[in-house]
Amino acid sequence: MTSTLVQRTGGLSADIDGDRLLRRIARLGRIGLDPETGGITREGFSAADCEARAYLMDEARDAGLLPTVDAAGNIIIRPRHTAYGDGRQVLMMGSHLDTVVNAGRLDGAYGVLAALEVVQAFEEGGIDSPYEPVAVAFANEEGALFPQPFWGSMAMAGRLAGLPREPRDHQGRRLRDALRRAGGDLDALGSAGWPHGSVAAYLELHVEQGPVLERSGSRIGVVDAITGRTVLTLEVRGAAGHSGTSPMKGRRDAMAAAARVVLAAEHIAGERALCRVATVGRIDPHPNTPNTIAGSVRMTVDLRDTDVWRAATAEETLRRMLDAIAASTGTEIEVVAETRSDPVSTSEVLRAAIERSADELGLPHEVLPSGAGHDAQMVADIAPIGMIFVPSLGGISHVPEEDTAPADLVAGARVLLRTALRTIGIGSEDRPDAPHTPHTPHTHSAPHIERHTTGS
Ligand code: HGY
Ligand code: MN
Ligand code: MN
């Protein structure tokens, strides 16, 4: 089933090949697959993630495109004939290949493969674009193994201050080594940054991961805001001991304290409604044996809201509750790491382009915020962003059952292509104001282009 979208552009045409897109999604969905659960596990920079990265780069090469890897491990796919850049601003599209543990096959992967499909369609259609079309697979968006979510997009946005100098995973293994294996270079991380103005627009296509579109019957979601997110990593320290011989009085039980932290997080978002959601998703007790009182617990608290002040108030309230829990359980509770991403709004120009594209394709659409975080909110530092959602069946994600109707997957890619063409002023009678300054040969700092031709 090759979609019949043909975008007439001066006799040239750009098509989305729906079959090819669905085939790639199915193939990628076998990498990191657990046949028992049907879930996919490709934590950032894990062996499965590297296998998925290799698959994407092979597909890009087979499509006649040129994939390179930047120092942060981001995969940058650009047309071969402009691989060395020619001064144009870039029209960037992408998402991430890495997943959470026991995930679905679409979160991130769909957006990367749709971006590849659009760049390939530009090439096959001979589209002469004033902006260079580029597809990106951002590294370690989820932060499932190395707990630095948005790693690659933060590096691209130049947010190095927000990243640890020597990142490690929960077992203390160095990111430096895994990053090198993936083609990156921690010591050259700064070279992954893109100067402000080099990216004319960034578009991300993603499954909604929630119930809104399915419930309303909309086929396309036009994202207006992406939630802010704070992830605190806590170290709860008490005293280990024999579970049989240690009297209840006087224990300094880190697990009992951690249990109170879980309920406190639920309390501030639930009864108190101080922020939209709060979740303890990870809890690592030590020594984690049935007949030993836990001496320490490492755990994460994930707080979210689209209002930065509500999120700050919720965090402050939680921190006060942590002090009270530590006092009442005789433990110490330390915040050992924190990552923050502010809520961001998408570009009105790109929202309008997405809506027009959906209208032209006869796809009912609605505007909605994103409760999930996305690389787009980091790229927003350096470029106007647009996000397109397609419905998630049952409104679920981060589970093996995550799914979207194939027709919606293809429709979303068609909207991405049409929005990309509209953004560069091709194939549409009414070109929106260019999201950035109109195309003038951009005096690209040559090093910027060379920077992205390193690596495989
Ligand atoms: O957690 C999130 O919002 C996204 O899946 N990284
Ligand atoms: Mn996710
Ligand atoms: Mn995602």
- Residue 82: band (very low, low, confident or very high) from pLDDT cuts 50, 70, 90: low
Output the pLDDT for position 359: 97
List Cβ neighbours of 52 (8 Å cut-off, separation of 6 or more): 28, 31, 32, 42, 97, 98, 109
Of 336 and 4, the structure prediction assigns the larger pLDDT to 336
Q: Is the CB of 59 under 6 A from ligand 1?
A: no
Sequence ranges of the domains in the chain: 4-227+343-424, 228-342
Output the pLDDT for position 434: 43
Poorest-pLDDT segment among 113-122, 173-182, 320-329, 337-346: 337-346
- Amino acid in the structure at residue 217: G
- The ligand minimizing its distance to the Cα of 100 is 2
Per-residue pLDDT for 321 more than 90? yes
Alpha-carbon torsion angle 140, 145, 148, 152, nearest 10: -10
Q: Is the CB of 373 under 6 A from ligand 1?
A: yes
Phi/psi zone of residue 247: left (φ > 0), alpha (ψ -120 to 50 degrees), beta? beta
Poorest-pLDDT segment among 52-61, 64-73, 170-179: 170-179
Q: Is the CB of 277 under 6 A from ligand 1?
A: no
- The ligand minimizing its distance to the Cα of 112 is 3
Instruction: Catalogue the E-assigned strands of 183-295.
Output: 199-207, 220-226, 228-237, 241-242, 277-286, 292-293
Per-residue pLDDT for 200 more than 50? yes
Which atom of ligand 1 has the smallest separation from the CA of 304?
3
pLDDT tens digit sequence for 108-135: 999 999 999 999 999 999 888 889 999 9
Cα–Cα distance for residue pair 53/393, rounded to 1 Å: 27
> What residues are neighbours of ligand 3 (ion), with CB under 5 Å?
107-108
List Cβ neighbours of 263 (8 Å cut-off, separation of 6 or more): none
Which atom of ligand 1 has the smallest separation from the CA of 150?
6
Per-residue pLDDT for 340 more than 90? no
Say which CATH topology domain 4-227+343-424 has. Answer: Aminopeptidase (3.40.630)
CA 382 to chain CA mean position, Å: 16
Per-residue pLDDT for 228 more than 90? yes
Which atom of ligand 1 has the smallest separation from the CA of 107?
5
Q: How far is CA 400 from CA 106, 149, 395, in A?
A: 10, 21, 13
Percent of all residues in the chain with a pLDDT value above 70, rounded to a whole number? 89
pLDDT tens digit sequence for 257-306: 999 999 999 999 999 999 999 999 999 999 999 999 999 999 999 999 99
Per-residue pLDDT for 195 more than 60? yes
- The ligand minimizing its distance to the Cα of 108 is 3
Which atom of ligand 1 has the smallest separation from the CA of 398?
5
Per-residue pLDDT for 147 more than 90? no
Note the maximum CA span of the chain. Answer: 83
- The ligand minimizing its distance to the Cα of 300 is 1
Q: Which residue has the tokens 């690209």?
A: 444
Which atom of ligand 1 has the smallest separation from the CA of 397?
5
Poorest-pLDDT segment among 241-250, 328-337, 388-397, 434-443: 434-443
DSSP 190: G
For residue 372, how far is its CA from the centre of ligand 3 (angstroms)? 7
- Residue 14: band (very low, low, confident or very high) from pLDDT cuts 50, 70, 90: confident
Pairing mode of beta strands 90-96, 75-79? unpaired
Q: Is the CB of 142 under 6 A from ligand 1?
A: yes
Q: What is the CATH number of domain 228-342?
A: 3.30.70.360
Q: Is the CB of 167 under 6 A from ligand 1?
A: no
Per-residue pLDDT for 439 more than 60? no
Q: Is the CB of 302 under 6 A from ligand 1?
A: no
Cα–Cα distance for residue pair 303/156, rounded to 1 Å: 24
User: Is-same-fold flag (4-227+343-424; 228-342)?
Assistant: no
Alpha-carbon torsion angle 395, 400, 406, 407, nearest 10: 0
Output the pLDDT for position 128: 82
Output the pLDDT for position 427: 56
- Residue 15: band (very low, low, confident or very high) from pLDDT cuts 50, 70, 90: confident
pLDDT tens digit sequence for 148-179: 999 999 999 999 988 888 999 888 899 999 99
As a whole number, the mean pLDDT across the chain is 90
